[in-house]
Amino acid sequence: MWPFNYFKKKREKEEQERRRAEEQARQQKLEEERIARERERRLEENRRKELERQAKLKAEREQKESIQPFTFRSNCHQRYENDTPVMGLQECIRTVSLVKNTDGCLGYKLDPGVGYIVKIYNDDLGKPNMSDKPMKVVTKSADMVELRGFPIEARSPFGWQEVDYSDYGFVVYYKNGQVEKCVLHMYDRNIRLEYMTKSASSSTAKTNSYITNAPESNKLTETETLVKEALSNLRAGRDGDDTYHPLFKAWRSFQRAPEQLKKIQDEGSFGTAFMIFLSYGTVSDIDDKQQLASIAYLFLSKAIEKNGNDVNLYKNRILLMMLNDEAFGYTVLSAINPGGGFDIFSMNLHPFESRDAIYKMEYVDLLKNPRLLSVDMLNERFSDLNNKISNGFFGQNQTSQTIIEKGLELHKKVLDYLNNKVLTEEDLDF
């Protein structure tokens, strides 16, 4: 029996050890699973806390960077270059807006919700003063907010191009919770434009005082006073906004009250002023360009009638016709075709008719003084016209003398037409 009991006890002992090992393994596995669950729980708790922290930081940041969108209507602005004021205080309307980005920005690859859009609108011209600029808040205090542009992809004629708008900045100043001043910075050029409001214009007051108090015989109309202001600024070297804005106001002034044009005292300066105004290239409507070119021609021509030896008057009249030939051509056609006479069969010929007429008017003016030909642009035109005459451009029987005679005749027709339309009938509808 002994050997049998020995082996039986041995087997029982081995079985106990196996079961004990299995139990230990099971307990170890359970512990490992518990530890894993605890680790996952802690990780999840840490993730939750981190998300809460990030959300809190985001809310704080958004609160710190948030700005109430606004529209600020400025009636004057000052330009600074290298911290030096230039061009004088410009008294004109600009609408400055700060818009929250909710839907992106046209012309840019900009995600909704990123920053703000800065807009500046030129109320004089009825169009934006600059392209919209996406910006982000960089600093904020109780009375000031600073925004700055950033690198962004913008649409161009060559497709999407990355542009760095960090050269642009925009600072808003507040007083008693209201926008007091907006400043646009162009850091790469060290230029800033300060947009403000003022209750009354001292210069306007001065102008009005002058008009009111001047003797009746010497009293200038509003439109001529503004022209003189513009030309004075131009002679002083301020050929930017200081010249442009008074001319724009002068234009609007005689549009509102055409009778002023009958009282112009310095006709040469008045005509020259609107030739200069056209040279800015800001007027795009063909009817407006025709009106301005016609007014400029009218007064330059009236001045020439009184002082036919003033070479500058002829120079300005030639340049006016050369640089505004399309718009002025419609006036010439009306003058040489009284009552219209345009029909569908001859319509295509009219541009050539006005072109040739203006060429002849230029030619006779170019011959008034040899000094005119010292201007390269005018000398080139004179040579071209002489070649045209020689090559039969105006007709095989046309000579310099016949072109001169026709040019004089055309000048008279156009001047008579404008005298009657503008000064007699006060009709500025071109």
Q: What's the predicted TM-score (pTM) here? A: 0.55
- In DSSP terms, 78 is beta-bridged to 194
Domain boundary among 147, 174, 196: 196
Lowest mean pLDDT among 145-159, 212-226, 333-347: 333-347
Within 10 angstroms of residue 181's Cβ, the number of other Cβ atoms is: 18
Task: Report the domain count for the chain.
Answer: 2
Tell me if 270 is assigned to some domain.
Answer: yes
Domain boundary among 196, 216, 248: 196
DSSP letter, residue 257: -
Please, which pLDDT band fits residue 17 given cuts at 50, 70 and 90?
confident
Look at the block and give the residue holding tokens 């055309």: 410
Instruction: Tell me the one-letter amino acid at 280.
Output: Y
Same domain, 276 and 401: yes
- Predicted local distance difference test score (pLDDT) of residue 62: 56
Same domain, 298 and 419: yes
Please, which pLDDT band fits residue 342 given cuts at 50, 70 and 90?
very low
Q: Break the chain down into helix, strand, coil percent, rounded to 5.
A: 55, 20, 25
Output the six-digit token pair for 86.
């230039």
Please check the confidence at residue 209 and state whether its pLDDT lies above 80.
no
Please check the confidence at residue 132 and state whether its pLDDT lies above 80.
yes
Q: Which residues 6+ apart lie within 8 Å of 359 measured at CB?
A: 385, 388, 394
Same domain, 312 and 406: yes
pLDDT, mean of residues 248-255: 95
- Predicted local distance difference test score (pLDDT) of residue 130: 87
Same domain, 271 and 177: no
Domain boundary among 149, 166, 196: 196
Lowest mean pLDDT among 4-8, 20-24, 172-176, 354-358: 4-8
pLDDT, mean of residues 212-237: 79
Determine the Cα–Cα distance for residues 428 and 430; give it in Å rounded to an integer.
6
Residues above pLDDT 70, as percent of the chain = 89
Tell me if 255 is assigned to some domain.
Answer: no
Tell me if 273 is assigned to some domain.
Answer: yes
Helix axes 267-279, 311-323, angle to 10 degrees: 30
Q: Which domain holds residue 96?
A: 70-196
- Predicted local distance difference test score (pLDDT) of residue 255: 95
Mean pLDDT of the chain: 87
Tell me if 205 is assigned to some domain.
Answer: no
Please check the confidence at residue 11 and state whether its pLDDT lies above 50.
yes
- Predicted local distance difference test score (pLDDT) of residue 267: 97
Same domain, 173 and 285: no
Lowest mean pLDDT among 155-169, 251-265, 287-301, 318-332: 155-169
Same domain, 287 and 402: yes
Q: Which has more pLDDT, 286 or 87? A: 286
Tell me if 353 is assigned to some domain.
Answer: yes
Over residues 47-105, the pLDDT tens digits come to: 888 888 887 776 556 555 578 899 999 999 999 999 998 877 888 889 999 999 988 89
Same domain, 192 and 282: no
Residues above pLDDT 90, as percent of the chain = 59
Which helix or strand (DSSP H or E) is residue 84 part of? strand 84-90
Output the six-digit token pair for 340.
């219209």
pLDDT, mean of residues 149-178: 89
Tell me if 377 is assigned to some domain.
Answer: yes
Same domain, 284 and 412: yes
Same domain, 174 and 91: yes
